[in-house]
């Protein structure tokens, strides 16, 4: 079965089986894993893709509702991806998790990923709140790198959620990682990723670029805050307070953040 990007998991597994037979993969663990789990792994990836589509649809519906209610589209773009089997196995090895199907299901939460690029930082928390309020969405984990950026300056809101998919004779809960960023956050993260994987940089140059990237992260944070302030000023000019007004008392934007995430972070701290 192919996903929308044309990636055929069954062909990939068959290719790896051939590599094993040719001696290019010699580990008995790999041989046993692929021999015993070809169809279950295919099903796991297929179900993960279905869950990914469910979450993407929920977000697109919310975007349309925001346009109707607030005359504002919070989502600039949505990107989806399925983790490759190579990346999945590499992650298991990196964290010393066993190479078993149960281990994958228990320890790997980001087989399916949805990245949401928002116009403003305020949009991120408004969308997250609306998504998490839905009664078939369960929040499994949250990492708020916006309020607490990584040391290198990386900012984004990461959610691991569980969503049901309905199959022919059953319902399954599947996990999806949702990343929410502003345009500035995504621009910085994309370039930082490209530079970080330039492995042949001299040490002094790499250190200099690290410092420069951190400074750029600070500038991008300031840009987000300034653009948000401009939007807020324009919003105040647009009309009186009301439930259909972005900053109105009945608005999701009037909550000043996500109540669900605030409660989650309070329990986790």
pLDDT digits (tens, 9 = 90+) for 19-77: 544 344 445 666 677 777 888 888 999 999 999 999 999 999 999 999 998 888 999 99
pLDDT reported for residue 29: 64
pLDDT reported for residue 172: 96
pLDDT above 90: percentage of residues in the chain:
51
Between CA 127 and CA 204 the distance in angstroms is 41
How many CB atoms are closer than 10 A to CB 224?
Answer: 21
Does residue 174 contact residue 163 with C-beta atoms inside 8 Å?
yes
Among positive and negative, which fits the CA dihedral 215, 220, 122, 117?
Answer: negative
Question: Which position has the higher pLDDT, 41 or 15?
Answer: 41
Q: What is the pLDDT of residues 193-249, one digit of tens each?
A: 877 766 677 777 777 888 889 999 999 999 999 999 998 888 777 655 544 445 554
Question: Which position has the higher pLDDT, 268 or 95?
Answer: 95
pLDDT reported for residue 34: 72
pLDDT reported for residue 4: 52
pLDDT reported for residue 25: 44
Domains of the chain: residue spans and CATH? 41-268 (3.30.460.10)
Q: What is the pLDDT of residues 104-154, one digit of tens each?
A: 999 999 999 999 999 999 999 999 999 999 999 999 999 999 999 999 999
User: Against a cut of 0.85, is the pTM above it?
Assistant: no
Instruction: At 193, give phi and psi (nearest 5°).
Output: -65, -45
pLDDT reported for residue 253: 65
The residues assigned a catalytic role are 177
Q: Which three-class secondary structure state does DSSP give residue 79?
A: strand
Q: How does residue 16 score in pLDDT terms, banded at 50, 70 and 90?
A: low
Q: Is the pLDDT of residue 251 over 90?
A: no
Does residue 187 contact residue 220 with C-beta atoms inside 8 Å?
yes
Q: How does residue 261 score in pLDDT terms, banded at 50, 70 and 90?
A: confident
Query: Can you list the pairs that 205-213 forms with residues at least 24 positions away whose Cβ atoms lie under 8 Å?
Result: 210/152, 213/152, 213/153, 213/188
Q: What is the Cα 47 distance to its own chain's centre?
A: 17
pLDDT reported for residue 49: 97
Instruction: At 83, give phi and psi (nearest 5°).
Output: -65, 135
Task: Find the mean pLDDT for residues 163-177.
Answer: 96
pLDDT reported for residue 100: 84
Task: Find the mean pLDDT for residues 150-173.
Answer: 96
């Amino acid at each position: 079965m192919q996903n929308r990007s044309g990636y055929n998991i069954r062909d990939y597994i068959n290719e790896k089986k051939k590599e094993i037979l040719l001696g290019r993969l010699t580990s008995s663990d790999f041989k046993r894993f692929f021999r015993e789990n070809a169809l279950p792994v295919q099903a796991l990836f297929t179900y993960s893709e279905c869950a990914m589509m469910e979450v993407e649809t929920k977000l697109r519906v919310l975007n349309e509702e925001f346009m109707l209610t607030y005359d504002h589209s919070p989502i600039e773009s949505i990107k989806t991806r399925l983790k490759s089997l190579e990346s999945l196995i590499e992650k298991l090895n990196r964290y010393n998790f066993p190479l078993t199907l149960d281990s994958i299901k228990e320890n790997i939460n980001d087989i399916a990923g949805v990245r949401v690029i928002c116009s403003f930082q305020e949009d991120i928390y408004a969308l997250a709140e609306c998504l998490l309020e839905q009664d078939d969405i369960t929040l499994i984990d949250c990492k708020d790198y916006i309020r607490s950026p990584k040391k290198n300056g990386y900012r984004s809101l990461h959610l691991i959620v569980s969503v049901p998919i309905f199959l022919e004779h059953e319902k399954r809960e599947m996990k999806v990682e949702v990343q929410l960023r502003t345009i500035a956050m995504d621009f910085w993260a994309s370039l930082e990723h490209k530079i970080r994987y330039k492995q042949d940089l001299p040490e002094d140059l790499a250190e200099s670029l690290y410092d420069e990237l951190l400074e750029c992260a600070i500038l991008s944070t300031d840009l987000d805050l300034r653009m948000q302030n401009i939007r807020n000023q324009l919003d105040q000019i647009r009309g009186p307070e009301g439930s259909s007004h972005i900053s109105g008392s009945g608005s999701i934007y009037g909550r000043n953040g996500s109540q669900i995430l605030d409660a989650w972070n309070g329990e986790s701290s």
